[in-house]
Structure 1
């Protein structure tokens, strides 16, 4: 019997039969074409994750209207012109053995950054725009709300005509429908405001209208139990809303938490831990008879646990399916260890969307590029030497070997992983640490020979027979000329991760970038008294803002003292001295950890290139960046060798 018997067991939503209990919930891709219709890239994206990844894949938010708010960049189902692309999408998903849901949205409301003076943002009431609180939203009129209800029904008819199996209603995390549900946003005095029943009326009328227009089409609703912000609904009110939605004819309740005002809960980073929203699903499951779906940093193990104890009927796996589209198939085949971990970094998935790019993935370079980045066998098999066994080098080795090349990996330390091994020691980074084991398993069955404890020098004869040399030697710690920096009580940040026995009870971390801040959190949670000293005005400036919200809150909860705007001038045996706006301060500590950043270790690449070898430098030895850039560079380089 499978260790994941509940995950891979069939499920039902209304009359819809699913092959397993995994649903890919809606996630933005920004892959729609200029008309707001599903593009060929989008079709390939969803089809890749259907069947082998999830019994049901649900599209990103798809607008039912364009005239009540600006919805540029969203997918649309507001006219019959959307049907051909929806039909292609449904056929592609069905051909892979999956089922398709389309998430329909009334819009972003106060969360919409796309507005003009002539067309201001709309909302339930005159709420401040999230991105610019000086701009007030225009409250929708009663007639406009009723018009939107009808447009949901029209969009659902189009979806059914295209062969879509279910529609999902985008009612969560503070978007327009949620702005009607939430007491902090809804101050209306008409039939859509006031009591809980009235605030839920917009949502329940949409469900009823779709049921009347397409009686056999299952409907799900994404509900945020807690918006995690002041003035929002409590658990009891959320349960009342859930019962009202069920009474209107809902078939599935997708449960989460958060709002743009608590953005990290919308896209939970690794700081929030495993299964972080399961309690909310459990609370809804206790008051409704319809199926409930849980989400939030679910691993195969805790997904199986959720289903086994009955906290939910389905599990939503989003970013996990970005990282590995064969999530379910690998569990069904007994290959759990072959699932590529999602490291919950938000870097190239959600982070890309917020910067105007299309979706990608830090650990899966083909995500979002299914049509463009498929690997092809090498025309001529080569001997490829990879110098450096960190993320860039390991990914390059894996991909080169998959293409048919013979690969030798040379790593000067006694272990693979490079900087990941020390940097991923905190429990909250266990998924990142798991990537090292994943690469090890993948290359074990490929023509890759690993040479540990082997340092390559510029005149090394072991590279003489290599057709291509990939150099991924990473970066060196930046050492600043500060008096006392070489003291016995001073550790570099990676050494502090590896040698916790040398870290005293009181620690000062000099440098508040991501590496310094993460170490500070790890030490504080282990019981150390920690201070961060940073010369800039803020710490973790190099961290995606969504993740920074969680990190800063976690540091506060762990009682880490943060001293920004202070330049370290001297280190002594009792701590360090720093100068800030109010003059000189001394921070007492048993151990000083330096986290001043890194610089590219490019010397070997330059020297090897000078010998005439075909050298490809990748990763931090070119430009220090996040792990996702290194992995993607490794993939793209090896794909062209």
Structure 2
């Protein structure tokens, strides 16, 4: 049995190391016990009759774990402003009572909660869309109509009425969001506001709606009620607000009391990724610095791609902000704050910014969840009902599905043995960690490894689970999470040649490759291998050059630098089908993957017949041109799918031992989806809770 030496024992009680993060702050008389903000996440619970009860449970759990202040999902002040037909709203007095379910639940746990008031404008999905101008969102099937002068004035009143109802409902503060491409932002930006009346044209006119809302809301709530603003300070959008306009807007709003300014970054259709894994942590803190420089008296909240409380502490220490906003990290781990308070950083389940179950689900109209925390937003989140009777379970496979099943079963009281043939846990995630821009997976494997240790799971590394272990009848159930093997396309002549490698040889074993390289496959794994091969070659060369240049002050090394004629990494992907490359990636991340491939000059060819693998390339028939050609390649990498490992199924059936098959080993499901982190974790959780 492994001693799990790669994880730490639970942290002993001690003073928080993050002293700045855990210092109190006052926001217009509202005392917050620490400087963490759970910023708004749209949960997509509208389809449920008990959406308010579910939201109350969701927020109360985070409040109990010590979040400084929670900001709700975006709440509309009128009908057209709702995200969906029956979207979250507070547009009438009879909606106050259900909102009190939320505030009372949060207050019962000692928390603070703000209502975010939002009008989605053209970002809504119900069809009755309005905006500053009749410009359709690129990703929407609905075209908005232009709001009339009278409708705009009525909306200003609706905002003020909604703010008054928020107070009656018990909210501790409100947040006015003027960013992220929603309605007010659509008025502010010249690219989405083409009006020629008093609501369009120069910035004074384009900002009129925002200023009037601020003025009218402050009149209704009074000077002593906390009003938070979410202001666009770095648009990253053609036709968006400039930095000077953002700073001017803040100045226009200041007379109406900005009690806390939450600095916002980007639009949903920005061409610069802002919340995906490719964006470095705290990549956009410079926007907060810019605001601080102009308005040193304002309380500022920094946001975007902050998933580690230690990063948050550094931003506060450096004086770049007074609070730190995190949204999706509280999907990944409801107890993020309480764990950080007791310095248990290894116990935090970090958000990996994959967007799979959060942002992708928002746009798909599905209730939001989390890839790394399959119980997020579910009614039973955080509760593990004890098993009806003692159960000894063997989990075969230490990939993410096996780790998840072992953990959740142990939390229900099962005695669990986890068997992994290799000498490390993580399965496919171990390979993903090697890919550029996917280092966040380290945190997922680290968290689940630590959690297994704490739950008392017996982990057996370097241990094969064979049929002989079933003989003594010790296990009442076996979870087969044995994963998959790379598929070998035997039908291609030459596939056994020595210069042909599997993608696992490249990512896991680090096998050297000779360029140019041809990759057979067009899915997400093939794309990752392509990026890995290009960046490994260029990063190694660039690192060597940078090192020598640092010591080349006298020019003596110039000849050596000039002598490096290493060719560029030539990589071409070959796909038999005509479908899009990486087609299974979500809509919020596929465009990023494709953009990276283009910038790295990776060749992508599809609709091919692969005729043979030859010593100097891959012979193909292009089905479009009907032409045969040789794609040059000194190395060929196979990334053409997976084959589930189910060799134990017959032995389990013969022994009469109850068993379940999950993850990539699940032959009943789509293997390509089962190797997906979100699907694997979801299967693991559902199995454990249903057993």
TM-score by length of 1: 0.94
Is this contact kept in 2: 1:423–1:494, CA < 8 A? no
Give distance in 2, aligned partners of 1:529 and 1:627. 30
SS at match of 2:250: helix
* Unmatched segments (≥5 aa) in structure 2: 1-14, 539-568
Is this contact kept in 1: 2:502–2:637, CA < 8 A? yes
1:350 and 2:391 matched: no
Q: Which has the larger displacement, 482-491 or 320-329?
A: 482-491
Residue in structure 1 matching 2:504, options 494, 501, 505: 494
Is this contact kept in 2: 1:478–1:598, CA < 8 A? yes
Give distance in 1, aligned partners of 2:585 and 2:66. 30
1:402-447 deviation line (CA, Å, top 9, x unaligned): 2222111111112211121122223522221222221221122333
Which residue in the other structure is 1:308 paired with?
317
Which residue in the other structure is 2:242 paired with?
234
Give distance in 2, aligned partners of 1:264 and 1:62. 27
Q: Mark the CA change 1:606 to 1:279 in structure 2 (over 3 Å): closer, same or farther.
A: farther
Which residue in the other structure is 1:168 paired with?
175
Which residue in the other structure is 1:178 paired with?
185
Q: How does 1:27-46 map to 2 (within 5 A)?
A: 27-32=41-46, 39-46=52-59
Residue in structure 2 matching 1:210, options 217, 226, 250: 217
Give distance in 2, aligned partners of 1:565 and 1:89. 53
Q: Which has the larger displacement, 433-442 or 315-324?
A: 433-442
* Unmatched segments (≥5 aa) in structure 1: none
Note the C-alpha offset of 1:482. Answer: 1.1
1:182-238 deviation line (CA, Å, top 9, x unaligned): 010112233322221221111111111111101122222222333323222222222
1:66 and 2:79 matched: yes
Give distance in 2, aligned partners of 1:346 and 1:554. 17
Give distance in 2, aligned partners of 1:47 and 1:507. 53
Give distance in 2, aligned partners of 1:463 and 1:177. 68
Give distance in 1, aligned partners of 2:244 and 2:473. 71
Which residue in the other structure is 2:166 paired with?
159
Which residue in the other structure is 1:550 paired with?
592
RMSD over aligned Cα atoms = 2.2
Note the C-alpha offset of 1:548. Answer: 0.9
Which residue in the other structure is 1:632 paired with?
682
Which residue in the other structure is 2:228 paired with?
220
| Higher gyration radius (CA) | 2
SS at match of 1:76: coil
Which residue in the other structure is 1:137 paired with?
144
SS at match of 2:157: helix
Is this contact kept in 1: 2:385–2:412, CA < 8 A? yes
Note the C-alpha offset of 1:105. Answer: 1.2
1:250-281 deviation line (CA, Å, top 9, x unaligned): 22222232223227746x22122322322222
Give distance in 1, aligned partners of 2:109 and 2:233. 33
Which residue in the other structure is 1:392 paired with?
401
Note the C-alpha offset of 1:469. Answer: 0.8
Note the C-alpha offset of 1:563. Answer: 2.3
Q: How does 1:85-484 map to 2 (within 5 A)?
A: 85-106=98-119, 108-115=120-127, 119=128, 121-132=129-140, 136-215=143-222, 216-262=224-270, 265=273, 268-288=275-295, 289-298=297-306, 299-371=308-380, 374-461=383-470, 464-480=473-489, 481-484=491-494
Q: Mark the CA change 1:482 to 1:462 in structure 2 (over 3 Å): closer, same or farther.
A: same
Give distance in 2, aligned partners of 1:97 and 1:574. 68
Q: Which has the larger displacement, 484-493 or 147-156?
A: 484-493
Give distance in 2, aligned partners of 1:386 and 1:337. 24
1:84 and 2:93 matched: no
SS at match of 1:386: strand
Which residue in the other structure is 1:13 paired with?
27
Which residue in the other structure is 1:508 paired with?
518
SS at match of 1:608: helix
Q: Mark the CA change 1:132 to 1:57 in structure 2 (over 3 Å): closer, same or farther.
A: closer
SS at match of 1:428: coil
Is this contact kept in 2: 1:540–1:548, CA < 8 A? yes
1:584 and 2:584 matched: no
Note the C-alpha offset of 1:67. Answer: 5.2
Which residue in the other structure is 1:48 paired with?
61
> Would you say how many aligned residue pairs link Structure 1 and Structure 2?
633
